[in-house]
Chain A
Amino acid sequence: MADQIFMENLEEYVNDANKIVSYKWLSRTLGVHVNEAKQMLHSFVEKERNEKDNDKISVVYMVSGVSKTDKVHRICVIQEEQLEATKAQLDPVTSCHVYSVQQAKLKDSNALYTADYDLLKEQIFTSNKYSAIKCTLAKLRSADELKISALKINESSTEKSAVKNNKSSTADTKPKKTESDVSKKGGPGKKSSPQGKQGIASMFTKAEKKSAPESEKSVKSAAKGKPKQAGVMSFFNKQSSKPAGKATKKESPVKSKKKRDDDSDEDVKKPKKRRVIESSSESESEEEMMEEEPMPPTPPREATPPPQELTPTPEEPESPIPKTNAEKTNNKNSDVSDATQKGHRRKRKRKLVPKTSIDEDGFMVTEKVWESDSTDASDVEPPPPLVQKSPNPPSQKRSTEESGTKKETKTKAPAKKQSKANTKQTSLMNFFKKS
């Protein structure tokens, strides 16, 4: 019975929607095992060709085996016509199955990748869910585990910073030198923003500029924290600050306190003028953080109400939708919210949201739009959690900031890439930093 429905689906995808249906795409879309998807594709092709005389569809096969000529194990994705020829070159043939079915005759494999791309990105963490290849040892760490590991890192970092502080008090006789260091360090960061001013990149320059003073500041504070130390020590410092920045909510107060301690230490020694500037910039940047913090992962329409007012879109149903989304995610995550608040992990969700609008000609136009959502939106919108959160954003910000500076100074990655990393893969980044 289910097979029947699946077959109808399949027919729709291939014949009506003119899609490229690969076995991966099919298994992810229908939520079936890959092997089942392969079988479905096979029987679909048989059925279309034999019963319906539909010769229009073209089939791509995947064949693997040991090559006769150079004794290498080969995996080939090939057109149907080359199937026999390829098989003849392999001995033994270890596997042969349908890779994809489509109407168009594909000229190369580009389209195959493109067709799978979006779905793969959507399910990036469960991409092997229906796969035949499993590794039982590989597990996604839960929020709690992440928290614990972050705690461990933070502990070690605080120990180190304590050592560092002791040292710094003795070695702090040359604050001017650090200042010049700072300006040197700040230099490249600033430079990079006007650089990437072409095409898509240019729109990010604004964001970069914004973060530039902050990043500079972070560099400053970091530099202040470790006034000229031995190479090894400074290396540790950097490391410690990184995980700390990304540290979960719980630690953030500790961390910021620590920073403040550093600052106050500094303040004693530094000329007054400097101190004033420092503190003001700190508070300023904190305000900015509050604004900016929800930005990266969420469509800002939901995160910051002002733009919504600025762009008076006529669609009425739209405004309730984000809310309901937020509510839904709230409800869903009410049990997880604890973890999410502490671990602050983001979940991205895309939803098909129908948007209705009246166009210039006065016609009502309804279309379905993919809205991407993240659970963060729910954190931001209701006021009470926001109040609770207020201590948090600085730490959160710092993490993004730090990653920002790191990139700017180190790799000078194109703005586009950088921001993408920020939006899409915050969680991934976190994952890597923690290790």
Chain B
Amino acid sequence: MNTGRNSTNLDVTQVTSDILSEFLEVAFHSILYTRELYPAGIFERRKKYNVPIQMSTHPDVNQYIIATIQSLKPLLDKHTADRVCMTILDGSSRPTEKFVFEIASATACDFSEDMYLVRLEDALRAFLLKLNICDAILTTNPQECSWCIQVHTTEIAYADMKQTPKAQEFTWVEAEREQTYMGESSMLPLKSVDNAVVKMQLYVEENTSRKKT
């Protein structure tokens, strides 16, 4: 049994990044829905982790999200994506809020503690629930909004990533300072999970200056 599990270690990182990218996709969709970045009409109800979620049905939006996540995968595979942020920009392209998924490499990379990933699924479900009700602690977004996905990674990982064919189809560019720097902001922790497979926390950075106005 033990040897068998050890030999799967290579698989485990693969599986973990699969799980993470799956989760990120679902999370992005539900952020888009709860933060009302798109009209509710383009969303439909699906089931994931045994609970209902809202997924966009707009082909372009979906395509964009899928392409982004696929090109992210090399980073997730190597645990070099420190943070994945979904940044919501106001009319003048300044970030008003950031949903930050901070991903660390898991303590022990094996499934022995959670063979059937029941607890992991619990945790991911809890993330989604928190995203669903984060409205209550956030101020409403301004009318004209756009969004983008930003990744914090290392220089070398970025260079590596550029080599892969997938990334060449879908190029990442360095973020402009205006789109990352938020000035006065507050941090609202939403949820964290730390188990043998995934170590991740989710918080929202919110521009506090918009609260005053």
Q: Which residues of A contact B (CB under 8 A)?
A: 18-20, 56, 102-111, 113-115, 117-118, 198-200, 202-204, 206-207, 210, 291-292, 295-296, 299-301, 304, 306-307, 310-311, 313, 367, 370, 372, 416, 419-420, 422-424
Contact = CB atoms under 8 A, between A and B. Distances in A.
B22 interface: yes
B108 A199 contact: no
Contact of A103 (B12, B115, B122, B133): B133
Given A198-B18, A299-B114, A118 B125 contact: yes
A110 B1 contact: no
Given A198-B18, A306-B2, A107 B33 contact: yes
A110 B55 CA distance: 12
B112 A301 contact: yes
A105 B34 CA distance: 10
Nearest to B52: A110
17 contacts: A104-B136, A107-B34, A108-B45, A111-B129, A111-B132, A111-B133, A113-B51, A114-B52, A199-B18, A200-B18, A200-B22, A202-B11, A203-B117, A300-B112, A300-B113, A304-B2, A416-B117
Contacts of A306: 1-2
Given A104-B134, A310-B6, A110 B108 contact: no
Contact of A423 (B11, B22, B115): B115
Given A108-B45, A203-B11, A304 B1 contact: yes
B136 A114 contact: no
Contacts of A207: 115
A168 B23 CA distance: 54
Contacts of A113: 51-52
B54 A110 contact: yes
A299 B132 contact: no
B45 A307 contact: no
A110 B53 contact: yes
Given A104-B132, A300-B113, 9 more contacts: A18-B133, A107-B33, A108-B45, A110-B53, A203-B8, A206-B4, A291-B1, A307-B112, A313-B108
Nearest to A418: B116
A200 B19 contact: yes
Centre residue among B110, B111, B118, B133 by max chain A CB count within 10 A: B133
Interface in B10-35: 11-12, 14-15, 18-19, 22, 33-34
B156 interface: no
Nearest to B107: A313
A160 B133 CA distance: 59
Contacts of B134: 104
A173 to B, nearest CB: 41
